[in-house]
Amino acid sequence: MAASSAPVSPNAGDVLPAAHKNKAAVKMLLQRRSTLAKNMTEPGPSRDELETLLTIGGRTPDHGKLFPWRFIVFQGEARSRFSQRLEARFKDIEPEAPPERLALERTRFERAPAVIAVISDVTENHKIPLWEQELSAGAVCQNLLIGANAMGYGAQWLTEWYTYDRVIKSELGLGSGERVAGFIYVGTASEDPVERPRKAPRVSHWS
């Protein structure tokens, strides 16, 4: 099969284009900027778009074909149900929390139409170092951000307090060896993002 006619949903063994110039993609990456979750609104990705986005996430390099990650998707009512759990847990941790803070927790996942939890699922004592398995989960997060942007949605990679909370991890059903790499919030930007300060990449050339 000619690479130029390669399928968009390739199967193992299909020939794919090594690369092709895509000025629009380069420009998009040069201008890539997170959309803050608080600046997200409806609509979110449709069922088909979400499937495409997760497929993009699943096409991330991983050493050893371990696929050391999985996804948990929050949409619709599930977002408010999970946010209620966040509020309840936050009340336990901080009984003196002011009502505004509890209101934030109660609606946290409703900031975006869709939230994708990227779960790092590593295999310990494997010849592939844990570090590489974990890096792959981070790369999945970035692919989701770029994929969402390419589909016309704003996206933000957040961890916040609940990523590291023992009780919330158990509510998410995380097994041993599993950790949240990030919650990827996806939605329509209610306003255009503004560039933030950035340092020039630190580069040296080996000689």
The residues binding ligand FMN (CB under 6 A) are 33-34, 156-160, 182, 196
Shortest separation between residue 43's beta carbon and ligand FMN, angstroms: 22
Q: Looking at beta carbons only, is 126 or 169 nearer to ligand FMN?
A: 169
159 Ramachandran zone, left/alpha/beta (phi>0; psi -120 to 50): alpha
Alpha helices in the chain (DSSP H): 23-30, 47-57, 77-93, 99-106, 130-150, 166-171
Instruction: Select 44 or 182, whichever has its Cβ closest to ligand FMN.
Output: 182
Q: What Å distances lie between residue 111 and 6, 157, 186, CA to CA?
A: 38, 13, 9
Find the shortest distance in angstroms from Cβ 129 to ligand FMN: 19
Q: Which residue bears the tokens 């600046």? A: 39
Closest approach, Cβ 41 to ligand FMN, in A, equals: 18
- Report in angstroms how near the CB of residue 12 gets to ligand FMN at its nearest: 31
Cβ burial, residue 42 (10 Å; 0-12/13-18/19+) = exposed
Residue with Cβ nearer ligand FMN (50 or 189): 189
Closest-by-Cβ residue to ligand FMN is: 34
- Work out how close the CB of 57 gets to ligand FMN at its nearest, in angstroms, rounded to a whole number: 15
Cα(40)–Cα(14) distance, rounded to whole angstroms? 38
